[in-house]
Chains A and B, each alone.
Chain A
Amino acid sequence: MPDPIHQFEIHPILPIKIFGWDISFTNSSLFMLLTVVLITAFFMLSMRSRALVPGRLQSMAEVGYEFVGNMLRESTGHAGMKYFPLVFTLFTFIFVCNMLGMIPGFFTVTSHIVVTAALAALVFLTVLAVGFAKNGIRFLKLFVPSGVPILILPLVILIEIISFLSRPISHSVRLFANMLAGHITLKVFGGFVVMLLGAGTFAALSPLPLLMAVALTALEVLVAFLQAYVFTMLTCMYLNDALHPGH
């Protein structure tokens, strides 16, 4: 049976070592670079004409802009639009990474927790920095819900702090786990087809896992979009906490 984990292996393409640190250019780096190049090329190309009445490509770019812009505006108000570049970059990067991963033989960058954790840490640190820069010490009010009896307040504050600190974990694990689980499932069902085909009379059963693999592919495309959406949506919600900590 083909190894379902093999697809997540990282191989160095261009080994680089600096002061004992291994910073090789790997297949993961290659696909990150490909993602960035694709996104940049798409937006440069689609917005080149800057027509008042948009063409096909420009419409796609504008739909993407409106989608993320509305998401951000709805959860943070106009004050949050300052952070649009960050949020839009996150969305397009994750979305294109996920979608590239759906092409057979391609590497899925977001199926490695080190990548999603870095993205989540970026959001977490941005929220902390923005929160303290905008509100100063009042940002800590985020941990003090109003209307709690003074007796249990210390307990509630502790719980709120743990809840806050758990954000980057759930933020990163969700994206990584979804991509990993989806790709493993696809590979396993694909492997079933191959195994059944080589198993004599049982080959008659092989269309069943094939059908399943087709259905799962459709589901995975949906998940690829949804997880990019959920990641962006949560980023917006966390930014809202940083901008308006009073709830």
Chain B
Amino acid sequence: MAREVSEICMDSVLAEMVASYCNRFYANKPDLAARRIEAIGYQVGHQLSERYTMERPRFSDHLEAIKFICKDFWSEIFKKQIDNLKTNHRGTFVLQDNKFRWLARMSVDPSADNGSNEDSSATVAESKAAQAMSMHLYFPCGIIRGALSNLGIPCAVSADMSNLPACSFVVRIKA
């Protein structure tokens, strides 16, 4: 009896979570907000990995676990696999998703920038948009980190969104 939730609800919850942490709870402390959002993602990833690895043999090395994240784990969450996986074979992996679902339907609110500063040049607006976007990526970063940590791989995850809506996650495994 799988219970389903409309996808737009998920999108809205995520957007609202980020908005609440950034604009209400930690309005002037973006670092703290980012850390809190990442921590929520960590717990979610931790619990999801427990569920999604139930019916499979144990992983023998890091690459296998990363592949699991790219294929099955990503399919479960985003209904698609990671499009490109790169590694330097020394503990750094780059997972690229060419159309990241949680950013695909996102646009910047134009009224938010105009009101406050009148000399809002294009670059300022752009960097603000980038900052707002990056806030939404702490949650998926946390999910990846939580899942991998639960599989016994301590790591640091950061996101890169230089060419939207493609988005890449950089996983650095701690030795």
The answer on A and B forming one complex is no
B residues adjacent to A (C-beta < 8 A)? none
